[in-house]
Amino acid sequence: MAKQYQTPVEGLVIRQAEEKDCGLILELIHGIAKYEKMEDQVVATEESLRESIFVRRRADVLLAEYEGKTAGYALYFRNFSTFVGRENLYLEDIFVWPEFRGKGIGKALLICVAKIAVEEGCSRMDWVCLDWNTPSQKFYQAMGAEPHPEWLLFRAENENLKKLGNMQ
């Protein structure tokens, strides 16, 4: 039985995803990709999710179920701060289907991931938000999070990652 977390939202259950949920996780990934106008970038498959999340244990997923229906999810993983000398949590995705927004589900998911970070002794929890996504930015700031003004996200992917990995 998957671990469940208490929430203050009537009718909401948040639970750890199980291997049998890979199709559901992929559906939610497509949902956030559509919202972020990045549908063409999704290459994940049920098998790649099963391997990465449940076999290799590279990430964890929380599923939010509202009145018995899947309402959203949060996907997070651990990273490490050399300055602090401890692991932290990185929130890769948090998403609630449009028909379930405004019910406190996103807030409950964010709080749940933060509680996990605190329970695990993490010094911080990080995530990024698209610069045009002002509703999410306002939501995060209302929850007490602040944008980091001094750090820029850099990424090497696809061919550039291969080039970088092959440099001498």
Phi–psi pair at 94, nearest 5 degrees: -140, 125
Whole-number Å distance between alpha carbons of 57 and 136: 28
d(CA 52, CA 150): 31
Cβ atoms of 90 and 78 within 8 Å: the answer is yes
Q: Output the six-digit token pair for 158.
A: 């696809």
Per-residue pLDDT at 94 exceeds 90: yes
Q: Respond yes or no: is residue 140 known to be catalytic.
A: yes
The mean pLDDT of 164-168, rounded to a whole number, is 89
Report the percentage of the chain scoring pLDDT > 70.
100
Tens-place pLDDT, residues 43-93 = 999 999 999 999 999 999 999 999 999 999 999 999 999 999 999 999 999
pLDDT value at residue 142: 92
* Rounded distance between C-alpha atoms, residue 66 and residue 109, angstroms: 12
User: What is the phi/psi pair of residue 46, to 5°?
Assistant: -55, -40
Query: pTM for this one?
Result: 0.93
Catalytic residue, from 66, 73, 90, 140: name it: 140
pLDDT digits (tens, 9 = 90+) for 2-39: 899 989 999 999 999 999 999 999 999 999 999 999 99
